[in-house]
Chain A
């Protein structure tokens, strides 16, 4: 009998909690969104983070009473396809979503590369796409009218790392011209723009770039580059290769015992480098689009900290790690759609496109306001350092909660 109640009790609780919301949902109609996203292939980790972000936001909006358009109530429903982390597949699936599934609104895929492959397709059919995971500036110079991105562009990811490297070197009695920078990036639109940003900043300050290499295509080995790092002893090492690149970097930096005073990566949280590599990740600088410690707020999710908490209880697999910003910004993209539908007051595609374009809102993820080209120009990036297994914001100074540990041991 005890056994039975153990099974029934949670089931009853689940029934009790879902019953009212499903009764409510029955009154709401559906707005169908489409997304081709990487569920397999080299971007699978982040593709899943993004999908969870979309789903979590949709669930929260539903619980909050749905989307009110012209007196009627709607909920989002997303059709997903797996793009296998391949551009041509993504483009084909976007076609399929639009022409076969008759999707009128798209959520973005994961990565700049996939967004680059899909954006011209949504443009071809004049389908508004709000994307959360494509940061390369090369996306925003093609004159696309239906592409909107909630995140900050790539050149901002590591700009503060370069500034910090300069400050620290000067403190150490070095001239800017003596600072040596090593860059290792994936050969894709996102990381090439990271590289372009670091090169611009380094040139402006007058630093010397001693290594400028591409990571191999599958991102699983960078030991040859690290051997070079060992020989040339740069003051700043920058690695960008999405989650897989971050994991490879942290693992091999430890294995090869690389000592560089400052190491800056992208995608630390998404790769869960602290959980996977422990101490090896200490002292590494990680750029992030969003941190749960920031003081943003909105009526659906509450504060950034609240978002993290609720997300973790909805997705227990994130319990032991950071909620990656990829998830947060995916939720923010859904918020943009919600707000645009409500402001447009109609489901007409062109009116909604105008409403998205006119967006100026504050969310738990930060402020969102689009430039003419479609990128978000209202939200800063922050830089965190892993200190004793914790991610602490160290730059820019307006958001910094901790001092920088330098040089990295």
Chain B
């Protein structure tokens, strides 16, 4: 589509529901996916809470957007990272997080879970490599 593909990072640092940042970020990621850029979605600090399994918002009367993260693969987002130190500080492990699958429609290559837990140094590297960082 566009001639120069840029590396976009969406950096998520807020918990869901308490503020609107998490949902706004997810919408921007999905809308931005139409532009065929090289996208990575990063979760650090309280942002890791966005990916917890089993969210059920019936009791608080808000839209549960947790299932929507599982469509990121369909929207051609292939790189999703979670900062390990942020998870550990919150007593969480990969087991607590949703799995996001990816399938390449042309090659039929399938990946069961593209959510990758990385150490803080890798977070820094990925941030340095990005052309643009969108911060939420």
Q: Is the A/B pair a real complex?
A: no
B contact set with A: CB distance below 8 Å: none
